[in-house]
Structure 1
């Protein structure tokens, strides 16, 4: 019987495709997408800062919070960090660096503690949004973008490559985690790379710059920092790079060096999602009223800060307790269990993020058309909701259940790879954690939500 050696769809190198390979090897990529994206960004900045002061009539707010923000986690799932290749902040960083950059090495402090800075920024921005209403105020949203832009410019002036994107961008930190669940993987071919005597894929050559994210494609085993910018594809002299499709979450199963900070960021994002969801529910005021009785104050900032701290702290505590229980089973330290199995939470965290934003995208997406028509001096009678609320809720449940399944399977694969003799026993505490977090997500999705706009 003749053996079929044709590679499966999952194994096939997408760079062999005439369109995909031609695009990534073209000198026009990623610029052909970067510059239109940058133009839209500056239009949004103008509208946020100088347009209508109410979010429900500001086209910039609609594009940012009803379209872009809900779509971005889906992009991470389907295409990894592709957004980072065309992000206007990254484009501006490259432009600043080209003309006035000093290209100094990134300080060791940022390399070591950058993820902690990212985590703190994520928490601070979420806190500020809920206390000061950043999303509800176009001007405040514009100021936030200006502050980020200022940081990007300063980083581009002093440091080499995309230091901001790698070590300081809060969205980059989230995308680093989420893209590890992504369905695309860019990797070098080990057999070819082992014989290669040049480092053009990292340093660049006359065909393309070096990797902007400080990654060495020859040894890269994660998509967490790969922007799919295609520079290494262009500069590689051996045609070694491959772009393949993989099952979602697969990378999380085989993390060789799990990082405690990355695992912590996963559960912190989960806590942030809890409070972002809860703050849009009718029961939110009841929660604050209960805290008012406990804390003896009616100061909204104090009450929210207490609720926010509890929401972030709860998943951290649950993962720590699960890690403590696992220590007695597999003999690994609490810290190592926390780091290793914290990656399993990423799938559910991404699902919760997508589920929450489905409500805004599908429940308010029509407002983008209506507000856009007003922006160009026309009118459009479009209902805000693109789908019935019940349909949206079913989709939310479906996404969350997929996230639970993905996280449980990831937990199983991590345990199987590292503790083959104690798989089920190791899975139990972390499985209980995943199910608990999943139930909270399902409960929040079951409650009526308020609109952003």
Structure 2
């Protein structure tokens, strides 16, 4: 047995354990309760609030890294998912998922993601413990409603904005869970999906027998426990490899990929002096001093630019590969996921490394230990920038190569390069815009 096989078996044994995922779920739930208390009852100043520091300085920055390393593992232990399971157990009606959710769930997630980002900047959610607490309460309300009325984890699969982000990023993840075709083809029990006395069925409505992507698998381990044929395998893979062979690309998933690019632009611009100058310029042009209005205009423009660039590139490629603009947009939108992930990680790295000590300081404050205005940086700004540019370089290379593999898989002859080159140039342009923004000094969040 080679090292990779040993590692896969070790992971499989963890998922088979009766202690998994509960051994991670309950500590996470306890920490979440403390965070909620601090957000709603604790110190009302973000700089001194443990809940704010844990949520926006620690958890939010490392979430993309978790998706990269272990896929949607967070979704298996997420306190919202645990709450959904409890609600279903106590008062669940287990109604089928409405057809409109199955059809439009990702679009709803896209809209939620955009609205939450917009609301954060307009209402200052991140900078306000109470605002963050209210956001969490709104999510809890949705989780409780979905768990009470509908079967399994309807919220996580069809409505959770973080689940949509996880679905995209986990496609570039380094782990995959699959059924063994030879064994699954002989199976008539379908315990992996339906469940058994050992564990419930797949909470995310996935059927490992036919599953060919990581977008909705949360590594909960239920299918591993239930499978009577030991068919399920967990294996390491090259990050982003799944994106090279998308069999059924979906417009809404590619749209989310380009939306995430726009959101990263927005998050960066609003932390820079150039963003403040843009706001002042808009105020003069529009004759309006209302921040909500001027930010909304800035937000829409920043979101629209990458979308329009992808549409334009799809049109240029269509002249070479004779496919529709929509199909090119849908097929090649997935190439942006590695760059999205790198840009998201690079942006969040600033908060984690430039403000990371605030988690420790606010924790000490829970016990009456005050640290005053002590420095919060873990490393120098120069080190942070080196790490950011390293991430962006890796993400750019992965996206360019993904564009090439998509073109090579989809076309032959001259159509391969005719499709690849325009999209490769788009990736390089978006990467250059990211690098330019990261070269400018950012302001702290806390």
TM over 0.5: yes
Select the residue among 407, 410, 418 that pairs with 1:415: 407
CA contact under 8 A between 2:12 and 2:234: conserved in structure 1?
no
Unaligned segments of structure 2, at least 5 residues: none
Does residue 394 of structure 1 match 2:386? yes
Q: CA deviation at 1:420?
A: 2.5
Distance 2:37 2:296 in 1: 32
Cross-structure match for 1:92: 83
TM-score by length of 2: 0.98
Alpha-carbon distance, 1:340 to partner:
0.5
Q: Structure 2 residue aligned with 1:32, among 14, 23, 36?
A: 23
Deviates more, 1:380-389 or 1:256-265: 380-389
Q: Which residue in 1 is equivalent to 2:141?
A: 150
Q: 2:185 matched to 1:194?
A: yes
Q: Aligned ranges for residues 126-137 of structure 1 at < 5 Å?
A: 126-137=117-128
Q: How many Å apart are 1:285 and its aligned residue?
A: 1.2
Match runs of 1:177-192 below 5 Å:
177-192=168-183
Contact 2:332/2:423 (<8 A) preserved: yes
How many pairs align?
444
C-alpha deviations, 1:317-366, integer Å up to 9, x for none? 01111111111111111111101100001110110000000000001101
CA contact (8 A) 2:12 2:233 kept: no
How far is 1:295 from its partner?
2.4
Kept after mapping to 2: 8 A contact 1:77/1:178: yes
* 1:166-188 superposed Cα distances (whole Å, 9 cap, x missing partner): 00000000100000000000000
Q: 2:12 aligns with which of 12, 15, 21?
A: 21
The equivalent residue for 2:350 is: 359
CA distance in 1 between counterparts of 2:236 and 2:417 reads 29
1:13–1:244: 8 Å Cα contact kept in structure 2? no
Instruction: State whether structure 2 residue 426 is matched by structure 1 residue 442.
Output: no
Q: Secondary structure at the match of 1:257?
A: coil
SS in 1 for 2:273: coil
Q: Secondary structure at the match of 2:235?
A: strand
What's the C-alpha RMSD, in Å, of the aligned pairs? Answer: 1.2
Alignment of structure 1 residues 327-366 onto 2, 5 Å: 327-366=318-357
Structure 1 segments unaligned to the other structure (5+ residues)? 1-5
Instruction: Note the alpha carbon deviations across 1:139-193, whole angstroms, 9 max, x for none.
Output: 0100000000000000000000000000000000010000000000000011111
Distance 1:274 1:415 in 2: 27
Any idea what SS the aligned residue of 1:186 has?
strand
After TM superposition, give the deviation of residue 379 of structure 1 in Å: 4.3
Which residue among 28, 39, 54 is the counterpart of 2:45? 54
What are the equivalent positions in structure 2 for 1:78-89 lying under 5 Å apart? 78-89=69-80
Equivalent residue of 1:185, what SS? strand
**Distance in structure 2 (CA, Å) of the matches to 1:138 and 1:287:** 28
Which whole-Å deviations, capped at 9, do the CAs of 1:4-35 have from their partners, x for residues lacking one?
A: xx6573xx374422xx3332111121111101
Q: Equivalent residue for 1:266?
A: 257
1: CA distance between counterparts of 2:287 and 2:207? 55
From 383, 386, 396, the counterpart of 1:404: 396
1:368-421 CA distances to partner (integer Å, 9 max, x unpaired)?
A: 111111112224586300000101011101101111111000000000111131
1:371 corresponds to 2:324: no
Residue of structure 1 equivalent to 2:232 = 241
* Contact 1:13–1:242 (Cα < 8 Å) also in 2: no
